């Protein structure tokens, strides 16, 4: 594969809107999805993720806007002529067919010779670690196996784009972690352009090349996992990706590409995305793990513990302070466990505090 192709976008959405009656499911969404990458659509339920996926698949026609696949306008192309496969939330395995027939379904549509179908299905099942299960019915499989069959059924067609609609939401937490690793490896190995929908931010952070955060039918921010976590474009993204404390602060000045702000007793120098207006009040994002808590030092931001929870790896607190309630994840537990009502003193890890507009 040439380097040139890696950079061109395989799938392109241009100003897509979709209305169902009065409901605007998505509003003026544009996206470029590069060849061979896995893009995640992340957002709360009802924000229009599935609708975007269905428009890409051709199951819905957008009210306005265009979809391009490899440069060709496919907005009105019927779904069965698109070479785009979809893994459904419910897996949608045909209950009246066994595993073999399910996987062979699309190949039979393409009129492959039966011999070749048999070899392909066998091989792909073996690859998915499910050799010998050909004759099983979908209801005789575990959730994880059903999921693998659904993915395999789509993959054997070698689609140009593979779509996943919350494929792991029906699995328990442990299996979910494992399956997302499997999906990511498979996608990388085959270099298949993929769009992955989830409302689970940790899943999105774990498997994506790029994450598209959506809110209320529009795109909030597009970026890599680290960028979204460290430098969210707005408080919605900050809050949705991981946990965040949003704290009001006073802007003192701009200095060397950083903003000097005053918050509580501290004067901090923090990164920003857009230069803020002078003299205005600004918002800071502080992650719970970037707050240091100590009951003993008697120095810094004073607060009182309101909720205290032992979580195993961390101690989690909610602390009342003069700048508002703050959530804190204390990994080191240097100061020991602070009970409810304890007076504590907080400090921020300055380099991780981020100014949002």
**Which residues of this protein are in contact with Mg ion, per CB under 5 A?**
50
By CB under 6 A, how many residues form the interface with ligand ADP?
Answer: 11
Q: What is the spatial distance between Cα 33 and Cα 194, in angstroms, rounded to a whole number?
A: 8
H helices of the chain, in order, are: 3-7, 49-57, 99-109, 114-127, 143-155, 173-190, 201-207, 225-230, 235-240
CB atoms within 10 A of CB 15: 12
- How many Cα atoms within 13 Å fall on the side-chain side of residue 192? 26
Rg of the chain on CA atoms, in Å: 24
Residue choice 4, 7, 22, 45 for contact with ligand ADP (CB under 6 A):
45
3-class DSSP state for residue 133?
coil
Q: Which region among 6-14, 17-25, 71-79, 134-142 touches ligand ADP (by CB under 6 A)?
A: 17-25
Q: Residue 295 gets which letter from DSSP?
A: S
Q: How far is CA 37 from CA 9, 57, 80, 179, 322, in A?
A: 10, 17, 23, 18, 45
Instruction: Tell me the window of 55-63, 203-211, 269-277, 288-296 that interacts with other proteins (CB under 8 A).
Output: 55-63
Part of the chain binding ligand ADP (CB under 6 A), chosen from 41-49, 124-132, 143-151, 270-278: 41-49
DSSP letter (8 states) at residue 124: H
92 binds, among ligand ADP, other proteins, Mg ion, none (CB under 5 to 8 A by kind): other proteins
Question: Closer to ligand ADP at the Cβ: 57 or 157?
Answer: 57
Residue 48 interacts with ligand ADP (CB under 6 A)? yes
The one among 6, 23, 61, 109 contacting ligand ADP by CB under 6 A: 23
Chain residues 73-112 in contact with other proteins, contact rule CB under 8 A: 76, 78-86, 88-90, 92, 94-96, 105-106, 109-110
> Is beta strand 38-42 parallel, antiparallel or unpaired with respect to 193-198?
parallel
By CB under 8 A, tell whether 59 contacts other proteins.
Answer: yes
Residues that bind other proteins (CB under 8 A): 57-59, 61, 76, 78-86, 88-90, 92, 94-96, 105-106, 109-110, 137, 139, 153-154, 157
């Amino acid at each position: 594969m040439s380097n040139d192709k890696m950079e061109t976008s395989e799938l392109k959405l241009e100003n897509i809107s979709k209305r169902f009656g009065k409901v605007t499911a998505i509003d003026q969404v544009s996206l470029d999805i590069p060849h061979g990458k896995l893009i995640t659509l992340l957002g709360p339920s009802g924000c229009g993720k599935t609708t975007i996926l269905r428009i890409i698949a051709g199951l819905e026609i957008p009210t306005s806007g265009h979809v391009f696949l490899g440069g060709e306008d496919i907005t009105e192309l019927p779904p069965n002529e698109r070479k785009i496969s979809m893994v459904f939330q419910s897996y949608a395995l045909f209950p009246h067919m066994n595993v073999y027939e399910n996987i062979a379904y699309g190949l039979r549509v393409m009129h492959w010779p039966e011999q070749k179908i048999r070899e392909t299905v066998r091989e792909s099942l073996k690859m998915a670690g499910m050799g010998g299960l050909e004759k099983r019915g979908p209801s005789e499989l575990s959730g994880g196996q059903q999921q693998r069959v659904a993915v395999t059924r789509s993959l054997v067609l070698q689609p140009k784009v593979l779509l996943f609609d919350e494929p792991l939401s029906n699995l328990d937490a442990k299996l979910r972690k494992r399956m997302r690793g499997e999906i990511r490896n498979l996608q990388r190995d085959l270099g298949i352009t993929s769009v992955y929908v989830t409302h689970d931010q940790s899943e999105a952070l774990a498997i994506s090349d790029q994450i598209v955060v959506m809110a209320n039918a529009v795109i909030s921010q597009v970026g890599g996992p680290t960028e979204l976590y460290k430098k969210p474009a707005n408080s919605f993204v900050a809050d949705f990706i991981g946990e965040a404390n949003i704290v009001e602060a006073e802007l003192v000045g701009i200095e060397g590409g950083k903003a000097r702000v005053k918050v509580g007793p501290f004067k901090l120098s923090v990164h920003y995305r857009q230069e803020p207006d002078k003299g205005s009040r600004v918002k800071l994002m502080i992650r719970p793990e970037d707050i240091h808590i100590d009951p003993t030092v008697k120095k810094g931001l004073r607060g009182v513990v309101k909720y205290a929870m032992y979580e195993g790896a961390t101690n989690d607190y909610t602390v009342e302070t003069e700048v508002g309630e703050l959530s804190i994840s204390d990994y080191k537990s240097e100061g020991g466990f602070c009970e409810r009502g304890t007076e504590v003193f907080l400090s921020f890890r300055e380099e991780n505090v981020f100014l949002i507009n």
